Amino acid sequence: MSGVRYTKDHEWILMEDGDVGVIGITDYAQDQLGELVYVELPTVEDSVDAGGDVVVIESVKAAGEVKAPVSGTVVAINEALVDEPEKVNNDPMGEGWFIKLKINDSGELEALMDEDAYKEYTDSL
């Protein structure tokens, strides 16, 4: 997906309308986690810091947190995931998105990897 930026923790962000980015986990991450069975989303208007925990996930293999790739304010959550966490496994970079975030500083995006750099990173793991 062109324009997507990635973290080393396997989160992605795709900027859509101006300063709003859609955030989720990568196919690599969902594959490593296995079938997701639980997703706990933040509340709209929550403030998050880059690298801070923003979503709690549990899979058949492990529990963990999804970290915010950038700082900002939550403007939307994917409520469908509460009842259908498997959407993350089925379409992690589409219907399996977690939150939409109004970002504070677009400069934070520059610290993230582009698609080629992320592929190179995951190939080395």
What is the CATH classification number for the domain harbouring 101?
Answer: 2.40.50.100
* pLDDT above 60 (res 1): no
Does some domain include residue 110?
Answer: no
pLDDT band at 111; cut points 50, 70, 90: very high
> What is the average pLDDT score of the chain?
96
Does some domain include residue 121?
Answer: no
Domain of 90 in residue numbering reads as 4-105
pLDDT band at 18; cut points 50, 70, 90: confident
What confidence score (pLDDT) does residue 110 get? 94
12 three-state secondary structure: strand
Does some domain include residue 125?
Answer: no
Does some domain include residue 36?
Answer: yes
What confidence score (pLDDT) does residue 65 get? 96
Does some domain include residue 72?
Answer: yes
Q: For the chain, give the percent of residues with pLDDT over 70.
A: 98
Are the CB atoms for 71 and 48 separated by under 8 Å?
yes
* pLDDT above 60 (res 77): yes
Does some domain include residue 114?
Answer: no
Are the CB atoms for 60 and 37 separated by under 8 Å?
yes
Residues 77-102 as b/e (b if ≥16 CB within 10 A, e otherwise) read bbeebeeebebbbeebbeebbbbbbb
Does some domain include residue 122?
Answer: no
The pTM of this model reads 0.95
Are the CB atoms for 6 and 12 separated by under 8 Å?
yes
What confidence score (pLDDT) does residue 13 get? 98
What confidence score (pLDDT) does residue 115 get? 95
Number of domains in the chain: 1
